[in-house]
Chains A and B, each alone.
Chain A
Amino acid sequence: DTAVSQTPKYLVTQMGNDKSIKCEQNLGHDTMYWYKQDSKKFLKIMFSYNNKELIINETVPNRFSPKSPDKAHLNLHINSLELGDSAVYFCASSHTGLAGGLYNEQFFGPGTRLTVL
């Protein structure tokens, strides 16, 4: 039973295109995140959504737009793709309420490797 799933796993596209990555969690968590792992293997937070509301936006170009239709989904839309967008994108989720984990444990999806040609 997959806890945090992402589709697609691989995405190859041309510069200038618009693409979306989908993320779903079945853990009942109230907060979801997008992270980017670049070519130097650094994992960096991009966005955080709590109960469908944006709470973190880390200096990400506005070509990137997260969309949360409900608490279980957080999709990432990227417009006008550039070469530098090539990376692995990870979705994650956590429970920030008192009944959840004590220490902000976040659970990650398998990642989507985006290659922009």
Chain B
Amino acid sequence: DQQVKQNSPSLSVQEGRISILNCDYTNSMFDYFLWYKKYPAEGPTFLISISSIKDKNEDGRFTVFLNKSAKHLSLHIVPSQPGDSAVYFCAASAFRGGGLVFGKGTKLTVNP
């Protein structure tokens, strides 16, 4: 039973436009939500995170939105760049030091 779901396996966007990656979760005990970026043959790289007490966190071109009542979060990348092309994983945990529960990932392709 997947507790973290990324329903879009892939997304293609033009350079300069906004990329929106979505994630849904089922476990109301999750307190922390994170986005990771992954290139082939490398480990996941931490991108941005948010706690359940906030609804938005911004870092440069990346913004994460959390809708706790809908158990939904999204990652916005604007403007998108070709170097952003990678697999993006949504992850969640219930406590600090706890294992992260990952979604299956969304492959983002940013076309020049």
Contacts and interface: CB of A to CB of B under 8 A. Distances in A.
A31 B97 contact: yes
Query: Which of B99, B101, B102 neighbours the largest number of chain A CB atoms within 10 Å of its CB?
Result: B99
A1 interface: no
| Chain A residues touching B, range | 20 to 34
A99 interface: no
Interface in A2-17: 4
Given A43-B44, A109-B43, A104 B104 contact: no
Nearest to B50: A103
The 9 closest A-B pairs by CB, nearest first: A45-B99, A108-B43, A103-B49, A96-B97, A43-B102, A103-B32, A104-B32, A96-B96, A104-B96
A64 B96 CA distance: 24
Interface in B61-112: 89, 93, 95-102, 104-105
B92 to A, nearest CB: 9
Contacts of A90: 43-44
Contacts of A105: 34, 46, 49
A75 B94 CA distance: 25
A109 B100 CA distance: 15
B97 A48 contact: yes
Interface string A23-53: 0000000010101000011111100101000
Given A104-B93, A105-B49, A110 B43 contact: yes
Nearest to A102: B51
B97 A50 contact: yes
B93 to A, nearest CB: 5
B42 interface: yes
Given A48-B97, A103-B32, A104-B98, A43 B42 contact: no
B75 to A, nearest CB: 14
A106 B93 CA distance: 11
21 contacts: A35-B99, A35-B100, A41-B104, A43-B89, A43-B102, A44-B102, A45-B101, A55-B97, A90-B43, A102-B51, A103-B32, A103-B49, A104-B95, A104-B100, A107-B46, A108-B46, A109-B43, A110-B42, A111-B41, A111-B42, A111-B43
